Structure 1
């Protein structure tokens, strides 16, 4: 099956580990050239060394919250690989507290990382994507659709990312640019592994993953590769008529379509 990645170039933020790194690996295996982006060079070097066994990959050390980072990332990518076809806005983290415990500074930092960083780099990438069309994918979260208690500010930032995705898809479709989001649920990550080791060190990962308390209809926490599979598909030519969509990757745990 041809995903259409041969000769294409992708930028993936937050890609030194987790979902971003696994997505980069999958795309490179399918023929894409990928620019990894993260703040820490050590993790990027390790990721590049691992992924370069399968094809062309490089990295940019950048903090996507900084104004100059967006143009730096795009310029270095085009200088290195000659074009840009796919942008995956994956940088982010989980910051969730009750409303009364969230400071104004917390709000500003969370929105800057999860929303405005994607705005900046999407703007920087747009002139290149307009040349031949392409795909932008924003990672958000299921809780942005139905925010639970004590989920601020991250649920609001993610909801804003979904709204931005839909509006962008309407504006950019005329250039052949597709814009989608994946709404992440419980997916294995360093943060979840830390909870496992602190809450249930006597359990194996498989046992911890399947605890009833996670309340996942499919009965387990998802793997990073399962999230990367969906992202890789949505950014590929196989999804050429999918735009403005929000796809849950949550094992059925979300309460909204």
Structure 2
């Protein structure tokens, strides 16, 4: 087991990819804290994961500094250390891509980008003190999708591209944090998944587009949450101890950045 004895905080682990991370980390021997904003969703995940290893729920709003701090403090007090932080949580299930207002854009930034920074800000001191840590940020191939589908609609306003903007920001944040924290034995890396078949994807991605997804990658198959989990285990383990500031696209060959 590659993560035996390690303690991991996984944000947004109540469903989707985050839950798949929690399942895989537990299977690899890690102790897992589900940092989830929804008590009901978190409780369901906790019940489902019982018996697979040491796991508990800490209700956490990653966009709130006090809540992020409380999650870190609880984890350190409960398990004695924090080895891994997976910044997975984001506004995706309820994203409204039609809302181009400045207020909504700020809300998406507060969660998707600033939330990753706040969680790292509160977890990093524990990692720096112990001279060991693995921080894994979750971006998205949406950050690389610059060309929009054809549209016959007349121009109305410049789009906010809120989800894509914030996920591109996560990539930049990864590199800046990796540069600062590397000398303390803390690595910071980023996973950029393609469209993954989760409940959230089923809700917001039109069915017709879902049917086309598998033909948009070299492997011509659809991505499942468990397909992303292996990359997280790699970044979290000692095999990646000299890997930092990197972005790994897990998408079957849809995006192939140089």
- Normalised TM-score (structure 1): 0.88
Unpaired runs of 5+ residues, structure 2, are 149-158
The residue aligned with 1:203 is none
Offset of 1:96 from its aligned partner?
6.4
The residue aligned with 1:49 is 47
CA distance in 2, matches of 1:234, 1:210: 31
Q: Is the 8 A contact 1:129 1:177 kept in 2?
A: yes
The residue aligned with 1:153 is 162
Report the more deviating stretch, 89-98 or 22-31.
89-98
Classify the secondary structure of the residue corresponding to 1:68.
helix
Offset of 1:195 from its aligned partner?
5.9
Offset of 1:209 from its aligned partner?
6.1
Find 1:18's aligned residue among 16, 19, 22.
Answer: 16
Unpaired runs of 5+ residues, structure 1, are 201-207
Answering whether residue 228 of structure 2 is matched by residue 227 of structure 1, we say yes
The residue aligned with 2:155 is none
Give RMSD over aligned pairs. 2.2
Structure 2 vs 1, CA of residues 213 and 81 (structure 1 numbering), >3 Å: closer, same or farther? closer
Find 1:163's aligned residue among 163, 167, 172.
Answer: 172
Structure 2 vs 1, CA of residues 210 and 108 (structure 1 numbering), >3 Å: closer, same or farther? closer
Q: Is the 8 A contact 1:210 1:221 kept in 2?
A: no
Classify the secondary structure of the residue corresponding to 1:53.
coil
Classify the secondary structure of the residue corresponding to 1:87.
strand
Structure 2 vs 1, CA of residues 187 and 170 (structure 1 numbering), >3 Å: closer, same or farther? same
CA distance in 2, matches of 1:232, 1:141: 18
Find 1:87's aligned residue among 54, 79, 85.
Answer: 85
- 1:26-65 equivalences under 5 Å are 26-65=24-63
